[in-house]
Amino acid sequence: MSSNPPLKEAGVEVQIPGMQDIETGSEVKVRKPGQGERGVWRVTGEVANSGPDDPAYDLTNLVSGRRRIFRASRLTVVRAGRPPRR
């Protein structure tokens, strides 16, 4: 009897690197930025009905103030969100 490692089952969730750290107040950069998407962005919140597999976030550019919505799979966390003040 040979001891083979367990096989991965279909439908196993794969975590997107850095995605679990995205929260309101976090500062992020966009992967493969297009025109007008460069620089650091602040997360202002998660978009309603965006889906649990790849949630979308509402972002504001720190320099220009421009607002955009991006999927978590395109974001890389630069600085984690700060805990709320008391």
Q: Is residue 52 part of a domain?
A: yes
pTM: 0.72
What pLDDT shows up at residue 69? 96
Query: What CATH code is carried by the domain that includes residue 68?
Result: 2.30.30.30
Q: Is residue 2 part of a domain?
A: no
Q: Is residue 7 part of a domain?
A: no
Neighbour tally for 33: CB within 10 Å: 13
Domain count, the chain: 1
With contact defined as beta carbons under 8 Å apart, do 22 and 1 qualify? Answer: no
Q: Is residue 4 part of a domain?
A: no
Q: For 17-47, what is each residue's pLDDT tens digit?
A: 555 679 999 999 999 999 999 999 999 999 9
Q: Which domain holds residue 64?
A: 19-79
Determine what percent of the chain is predicted with pLDDT higher than 90: 60
